[in-house]
Amino acid sequence: MLPVKSNLFHISEAASSGAFRLKLSQYLTGGFFPLALAALFSFSPFLGASAGDCFAFNRSLGRGINLGNALDAPKEGDWGVVLQADYFKLIKEAGFNHIRLPVRWSAHAEAAAPYTIDPAFFDRVDWAIKHARANGLRVVLNMHHYEALEDSPDGESERFVSLWRQIAQHYSGEPEDLAFEIYNEPARKMDADKWNILFARALSVVRSSNPLRLVVVGPVGWNSIDQLQSLSLPRDKNLLVTVHYYQPFHFTHQGASWAGPESQKWLGTLWNGSAKEMESISTEFDKASIWAQVQGRPIYLGEFGAYEKADMHSRAQWTMAVAEQASKRDFSWAYWEFCSGFGAYDPEKKEWSAQILRALQAGGRTD
């Protein structure tokens, strides 16, 4: 792990440290020259100043879980999940610090200007935030599955910005325990150039009503670690950078219908925690850590999980390894997800998956 003093990063201190020079040289000679070069020469204009706000918030997030397949479905319940009040209490009692709340805002807003969001849907999201807060859970509130935006970034950009204007204004009076994640996994026709411009526009709109709100942003390529170097960050000290991790994909998505017919061929793939498998996680997370420390930003691992068709023992081993490696590097994280296909909780049996929960608890932070 690279040197961090009280979780506040200063480029001069890190760059002069032997550990930083050694790690950077490993990347320069180990096939990651573009990443290392981009990290070394693409310093944020924010560097040199204390980033205490975003680092403190990242620490407070600690370990979390996604309430997925509920409010991010076309309609809540379409994908088999309807949020219940007792879910929040269960999550808190299991030792989690926050929830990530995926929301498909685009399905609940007018198609034409001014793109008004349905007040009843706002009420439902309010309800979830209220119950999270009542149970001492922080909330990362995002925009999820705006598929038309990814198919036509230019054509949908005004609606996207308008939705964020409404969301930001609606929650402008909320306490600081609520963070905004501007968009989940930009991909398809949303390339890095388009995403960097659109994110800056959305952030400007958010800042007009929420000047200090913690905002989460990730790179294109489905929040890929390999795309971090393409992410251009505005001058803003309250930004938290997110990445997602589902590697090896043929293990984590075996038998998943949305991954295509080839996913059926992956059934039976095991993950044993071998030295090579562990090294693969470490290498990826080291890349994210190098980038984050040079940029002076904390990392939020917003999603990771293995689908239910995988062997349970393998799922548990992989989950614990990912959570452990993330926590080791001071990444906050949120498991995907609570009670559906990747779920850590069985809503029918009304009990946690013991192996997955133990893996998350063992791999997570204890502070």
User: Domain limits of the chain?
Assistant: 47-224+236-284+300-363
How many other CB atoms sit within 10 Å of the CB of residue 5? Answer: 9
Closest Cα partner for 319 from 331, 334, 299?
334
| Annotated catalytic residue, options 156, 185, 284, 337 | 185
pLDDT tens per residue, range 156-202:
999 999 999 999 999 999 999 999 999 999 999 999 999 999 999 99
Q: Does position 207 have pLDDT exceeding 80, yes or no?
A: yes
Q: Is the dihedral of CA 306, 308, 309, 313 positive or negative?
A: positive
Q: What is the pLDDT of residue 53?
A: 86
In total, the chain counts a number of residues equal to 367
pLDDT tens digits, 87-126: 999 999 999 999 999 999 999 999 999 999 999 999 999 9
Q: Does residue 25 carry a pLDDT above 60?
A: no
Task: Report the alpha-carbon distance of residue 135 to residue 131 in Å, rounded.
Answer: 6
Reply yes or no on whether 93 is catalytic. Answer: no
Q: What's the pLDDT at 364?
A: 76
The residue annotated as part of the active site, out of 303, 308, 348, 351, is: 303
Q: What beta strand segments (E) does the chain contain?
A: 63-66, 98-101, 138-142, 178-181, 215-217, 239-245, 299-304, 332-335, 345-346, 351-352
- On the question of a cis peptide bond just before residue 337, with omega within 30 degrees of 0, the verdict is yes
Q: Is 279 a catalytic residue?
A: no
Where does residue 237 rank: exposed (0-12), middle (13-18), buried (19+ CB within 10 A)?
A: middle
**Which residues pair with residue 142 across a beta bridge?**
181
Q: How far apart are CA 255 and CA 293, in angstroms?
A: 37
315 or 25, which is more confident: 315
- Tell me what the mean pLDDT of segment 288-295 comes to: 96
Provide, rounded to the nearest whole percent, the portion of the chain with pLDDT above 90. 84
Q: pLDDT band at 310, cuts 50/70/90?
A: very high
Q: Which residue has the tokens 């370990």?
A: 63
Q: Is the pLDDT of residue 291 over 80?
A: yes
Instruction: Name the average pLDDT for the chain.
Output: 89
Measured distance CA(61)–CA(100) in Å, rounded: 10
| Residue listed under structure tokens 């390999």 | 226
**Packing angle of the helix pair 18-29, 275-295 (nearest 10 deg):** 120
The CATH class for the domain spanning 47-224+236-284+300-363 reads: alpha beta
Asked if residue 239 has pLDDT above 80, the reply is yes
